[in-house]
Structure formats: structure tokens, C-alpha cells
Amino acid sequence: MNFFLRKSIIALTGLFLCVFLMVHLSANCILLFPEEVAREMYNSYSTTLRENPLIKIVAYLLYLSIIFHVLYAAIVTYRNRKAKPQRYAVNRTADNSTWTSQNMGLIGVLVLIFIVVHLANFWARIKLGIGEGVGMDNAGYVDVYEVTYNLFQNVYYVLFYTVLMIPLALHLNHGLKSAFKTLGFYHKKGLRIIARVSLFYAAIISIGFGVIPLIVFLK
Ligand code: HEM
């Protein structure tokens, strides 16, 4: 498979994940409503995710997208490193590329660590029924609202969820711009608009996800 095809897979799966994050953030805003309405709304949203057949198909697409995005990003990073292994005394690339673009590998790993921990916190418990605890009963019923509120009583989890939104912001800002370029968007003025939209998108997503655990903790 050639370099362009690999980059296109990273771009397309990345764009799909960006759409998922918008939907996911909107749904998680329910957590900020008063408890009387939020508990029922959040739990019925979670039940719909698990039981609606169409949403189940989208969920499988989401898992495949995460796997392909990570896999091809790792392959491209590895091949790029192999192609230019020597470090020069004067690093000219630093002149025309940002710190983020040079460290997308490291930033991507931090985002991946976040996702793995997050899936263990929620997805494994809710979808696979792994682990017991607050909000879960022996008959398999899960009060997802309770699971979430209980997790964010732990200050270490709150810090983890909040601090790791910094690499997520950097990753989304750079990734969104790169995805459009990879897919052939070279118009100069258009790229300037895309750069602004990417920054705005990355800020909304990371601030949104970063403040929810804080607000829940302080409630
Ligand atoms: C305030 C922060 C967040 C909260 C409270 C939260 C909550 C949840 C919950 C409750 C689920 C399980 C949904 C269900 O099946 O009922 C879930 C799944 C998931 N979350 Fe999050 N999430 C947060 C942030 C994030 C972020 C920042 C990402 C990605 C960078 C993410 C990625 C995912 C993925 C990939 C799934 C699996 C989706 C599925 O199986 O359908 N989440 N999250």
C-alpha cells in the first residue's frame, strides 16, 4: 500500500472520529442538567446506544475507525522515522513545521492512553459487563449516570480526564488541518479558514470534555 493511501485512511477515519466526538460531547452535556432530568435522559441515551441496531452498526464502524487510524498512523510514523534516521546539527524542519506536527506520534500515544483508560472505565463495564461497582446490579442493569458521577468523585480521575484534554486539543487541531490537506485541499484562502475552524473545533471539544468532570466533581 502506498504512502498516499495510508494517509487517506488516517484522514478519513480521523474525520469520522471528529464527527463522533461532537455527538459524544453533546450527549455528555446531559450530565450538567439537574439530576431529576439528567439521570433518566443519560440512562436512556445509553440504552439506545446499546440496543438500537443501526447505532450498533455505527459503533462497529467507530471501533474499526479507531483501530485503522491508530494502526496506519503507527505505520506512517515508523516509516517516516526509518526514512530519515539521522539528526542534523541544524534542524531545518523546525523552521517550517510546528512542535505539534513534529510530535504527533507522542501526542497520539497520550490520546490513545486516554482512550484505553476511558474505555476500561465505561465501555468495558457498560457494554461488556466487566467489573462490578456502584451503578451496576447483579441482573446486568447499569445506571450509567451513577457510574459516571461515581467515577468523577475521584480527584485523580478528574485530573486525568482534564489534563489529557491538552494533547487531545493539539491532536485535533493539527489532525483536522492535515486531513483536509491529505484529501487534496490546497486552496490557500480555504486552508486559512480550515485552520481557524480546526482551532475552534479542537477548543470546543477539549474544553467541553475537560470541564464536564470538573463540574461533576464540584456539584
Ligand atoms: C467528560 C468526558 C467523557 C465522558 C463523561 C464520557 C462518557 C462515556 C460513556 C458513558 C460511554 C459509554 C456509552 C454507553 O455505551 O452507554 C463512553 C463511550 C465512549 N467514549 Fe466517552 N466520555 C468522555 C470523553 C470521551 C473522549 C474525550 C473520547 C475520545 C477522545 C471518548 C471516546 C469514547 C468512545 C470511543 C466510546 C465507545 C463508544 C461506543 O461504544 O459506542 N469519550 N463515553
DSSP label at residue 127:
T
- All cell numbers assigned to 69: 487510524
What domains appear along the chain, each with residue ranges and CATH number? 3-218 (1.20.1300.10)
Confirm or reject: Cβ of 45 under 6 Å from ligand 1.
Answer: no
* 142-146, 165-169, 211-215: the lowest-pLDDT one: 142-146
**What percentage of the chain has pLDDT greater than the value 90?**
72
Taking only the tens place, the pLDDT of each residue in 78-101 is 888 888 765 555 555 444 468 888
CA dist 73 and 67 (Å) reads 10
Q: How far is the CA of 118 from the centre of ligand 1 (A)?
A: 7
pLDDT tens per residue, range 114-163? 999 999 999 988 888 776 666 666 666 789 999 999 999 999 999 999 99
- When the pLDDT of each residue in the chain is averaged and rounded to a whole number, the result is 90
CA distance 126 to 66: 19
Whole-angstrom Cα distance, residue 37 to residue 80?
51
**Helix ranges, 84-187 (H):** 93-96, 99-102, 104-118, 124-126, 144-151, 155-163, 165-182
Of the candidates 213, 110, 219, the residue with the CA atom closest to the CA atom of residue 154 = 213
Which of 122, 172, 201 maximizes ligand 1 atoms within 8 Å of its Cβ, making it the mutation to test the pocket? 122
Q: What's the gap between Cα 106 and its chain centre?
A: 15
Query: 112 falls in which pLDDT band (50, 70, 90)?
Result: very high
Please tell me the distance from the alpha carbon of residue 127 to that of residue 148, in angstroms, as a whole number. 14
The Cα–Cα gap between 78 and 105 comes to 9
Q: Among 30-34, 84-88, 191-195, 200-204, where is mean pLDDT lowest?
A: 84-88
pTM confidence score: 0.91
Does ligand 1 have an atom closer than 6 angstroms to the CB of 164? no
